[in-house]
Structure 1
Amino acid sequence: MSSEEAAPLLCAGIATFNALKKSGAEAGDMVVVQGIGGLGHLALQYARKMGFRVVAVGRGADIAEDALRLGAHVYIDSNKEDAVARLQSLGGARAIVTMISDIEAIAALMGALAPQGRLVLLGAGKNPLPVSAGYLVRGERSILGSITGTPFENERALDFSVLAGVRPRLETVPLERAAEAVARMKSGQATFRMVLTMTEKSHARP
C-alpha cells in the first residue's frame, strides 16, 4: 500500500472501520450505509469484506454505479423511493451507519431499524436528533456515536485493508496546490478523497 493510499485510511478508514465493528452486526446481517462520499465509499468496502449484506442509501442516481462497484448489494435512491419502506421489505436493518449531518434525513431512516438494531453516527451535526423513547425501548434499539480509534486500532484497520483489498478512491495534488485541492473538495467534485503529496504529480486513482 502506498503512502497516498494509507493516508485516508488513517482518518476516514479508521472511523468507518471502527463504526462497523461497533455496530453490533454479524456476518450475513443487513447493514445500511447512509451517505456515499469520502467516508461512505470506504464503509461500503469494509462492510462488504466483513460479510454483511450491504445496502447503500444516497440521493440521486449518479452515485448508484459507484455504490454497487464499491460493495453495496443494493442501492436505494432516497430521492425516488421510500427508503424506509424498501429496507423494511428487505427485513429491516441490523445497523445503520450514517456519515451525513442532515438530522432530518437520519431521523427519517431510523424507521428502518430492525428490533435490537443500532444507529451509528459519524456525522457531527449541530442539531438534536429527534427520536421517540418508545421506539427505542419497544424494539430495544440503540444509538451511538463513533469518531476514530487508537494507534493500535489504526494498525488493525490498515492490516485489514491490506488483507481484504480495501483502498480509498482518491485524487493526489502537490502540496503547493493545496488551495486548489480544498476548493475542489468543497465544491463536491473531488473523487471521494483529496491527498496532498510532496511531488509534482497529480492524478485520480480508481
Structure 2
Amino acid sequence: MPSYDHPETYKAYAFLEKGGDLKPITFKWRDPEPGEIVVKVIACGVCAGDESGKLGVFPGTTYPIVPGHEIVGDVVAIPNTEKKWKLGQRVGAGWHGGHCHECKRCSVGDFVTCENGVINGVTRHGGYAEYITLRREAVAAIPDGMDPAEAAPLMCAGVTTFNSLRNMSCKPPQLVAVQGIGGLGHIALQVSKAMGYRTVALSSSPSKAELSMQLGAEFYLDGSKVDQGAELQKLGGAALIICTAPNSDIMTGLRLVEGLAVNGEILILAAVPGGTNLPLISLLHKRASVRGWPAGSAADSEDCCKFAKANGVRVMVNKFSLEQAHDALESLSSARFRAVIMP
C-alpha cells in the first residue's frame, strides 16, 4: 500500500446528529480501498450546501457526517491498484463525490447527474478534516502554482458558474447579467468577462459598484435606485441573467424577467427553499426559459481551474483554521465572499 507517513488518528469537525452543531471528532486512519485515494487536506471552502449535511436534505446522509465539498490537498495514500493518481500530487474534489458507472446518465458520460451518485460532505465525509478519503473518479488535478485557498472554492462555486455559463444558449458578445455580487457572483463576473460577454452586475445597494467594475462589469445596476429590468432593456436585453443571491422574489420576479432579451434565459444557481412566483406571461411572450445547473464533474473542475489560471480569475477568501470550523460555517450569513478552512 503506497503511502506517506500518516498518523494513527486525525481530527475533523462533524455534525454528530441531524440538526446538530459542528463538533470536533477523531477518526482512526483507514487505508484506501481500490477505487479510493487519501488526501491530506490543505484547504476546504465553506459553502451554503454544507448545511445539507446538517439538515439531512439528501437521502443517504448518516451521522456523524463531516461537511465540506470544496477540497484541495495532496495525495498521501493510494491502493496498489491505482494507476492515475500519484503520491504527492495536488488534487481537488467538489460536490460530485462519485458515480456508479452503470445508470443511464453515466452511460452517456453525464456523471454529475448519476442516479446513484454520492456527495462529498453530505453522503460521504467531506473536507472539514485533516485527511479525506475520495473516490478516484471524483478527483480533479490542480494546476501547478495555484493558491490552494483560492483553488478550493473553484471546486464548487467556481465550477458552478464556469460550467453553467459555458453550457447556456448565449454566445459572446451578448449581454450577461449577474444578480448578486457575493461568493458566487464575484466569480461569475470574472468568468463572464473572460469568456467575452458584455457583463452587467446587478445588486441591491451601491456598496459593490467599484468592486464589480474592477472584476469585469461594464455596467452596475443598483436595484435600490433603478428598475433593473428596464435598464437591461435599454442595453438591448440580457441573453442570460445568472442568479447567485438566494432571494426567490428577486430571482424570478417580474422586474428581473422583464430584463431578458427574446429567447433569454434565467439561470438559477442559488439554492432557495420554498416556491417562487414566476411571471408566466412575460416568460411566454419572450420565449424565455428558466434553468438550473448542478456544479460539475471532476473533468469540469479541471477545466475550470485551467480557465481561472489562464484568465486571472481570482477568488476572494477569508481564511479560518480547522478549530474555527464552526465560526467559518456561521460566517455564511454575513461573509462577503468565500470562507476557507485551512487545516
Q: TM-score, normalised by structure 2?
A: 0.55
**Residue number in structure 1 paired with 2:184:** 39
In 2, Cα distance between equivalents of 1:92 and 1:140: 13
In 2, Cα distance between equivalents of 1:172 and 1:100: 22
Specify which of 307, 312, 337 is matched with residue 165 of structure 1: 312
In 1, Cα distance between equivalents of 2:212 and 2:241: 16
Specify which of 276, 282, 285 is matched with residue 135 of structure 1: 282
User: 2:211 aligns to what SS in structure 1?
Assistant: helix
Specify which of 61, 64, 73 is matched with residue 218 of structure 2: 73
User: 1:55 aligns to what SS in structure 2?
Assistant: strand
Specify which of 60, 74, 83 is matched with residue 205 of structure 2: 60
Q: Deviations over 1:161-187 (max 9, x none)?
A: 11111110111121122223233332x
Give the letter aligned to residue 79 of structure 1. S
In 2, Cα distance between equivalents of 1:167 and 1:70: 9
Q: Which sections of structure 1, spanning at least 5 residues, go unmatched?
A: 199-206
Give the letter aligned to residue 171 of structure 1. N
In 2, Cα distance between equivalents of 1:52 and 1:138: 25
Matching of residue 148 in structure 1 with residue 295 in structure 2: yes
Give the letter aligned to residue 321 of structure 2. P
In 1, Cα distance between equivalents of 2:156 and 2:222: 27
User: 1:45 aligns to what SS in structure 2?
Assistant: helix
Specify which of 119, 143, 150 is matched with residue 5 of structure 1: 150
Give the letter aligned to residue 13 of structure 1. G
1:191 CA displacement: 4.4
Identity of aligned residues (%): 36
Q: Does the Cα contact within 8 Å between 1:120 and 1:146 map onto a contact in 2?
A: yes
Superposition RMSD in Å: 1.4
Q: Which has the higher strand share?
A: 2
Matching of residue 183 in structure 1 with residue 323 in structure 2: no
1:127 CA displacement: 2.9
In 2, Cα distance between equivalents of 1:23 and 1:37: 21
Q: Deviations over 1:123-170 (max 9, x none)?
A: 122232323444333322111111201111111111111111111011
For this pair of structures, how many residues does the alignment match?
Answer: 196
Moved over 4 A (4+): none
Q: Deviations over 1:72-127 (max 9, x none)?
A: 11111101111111111111000001012222112230111100111110112223
Q: Which sections of structure 2, spanning at least 5 residues, go unmatched?
A: 1-145
Q: TM-score, normalised by structure 1?
A: 0.90
In 2, Cα distance between equivalents of 1:63 and 1:143: 26
Higher radius of gyration, 1 or 2: 2
In 2, Cα distance between equivalents of 1:124 and 1:185: 14
Specify which of 231, 242, 250 is matched with residue 86 of structure 1: 231
Q: Does the Cα contact within 8 Å between 2:257 and 2:282 map onto a contact in 1?
A: no
Q: Which has the higher helix share?
A: 1
Q: Does the Cα contact within 8 Å between 1:19 and 1:97 map onto a contact in 2?
A: no
**Residue number in structure 1 paired with 2:256:** 109
**Residue number in structure 2 paired with 1:201:** none
Give the letter aligned to residue 237 of structure 2. G
User: 1:22 aligns to what SS in structure 2?
Assistant: coil
In 1, Cα distance between equivalents of 2:200 and 2:287: 22
**Residue number in structure 1 paired with 2:171:** 26
Q: Does the Cα contact within 8 Å between 1:23 and 1:97 map onto a contact in 2?
A: no
Matching of residue 120 in structure 1 with residue 255 in structure 2: no
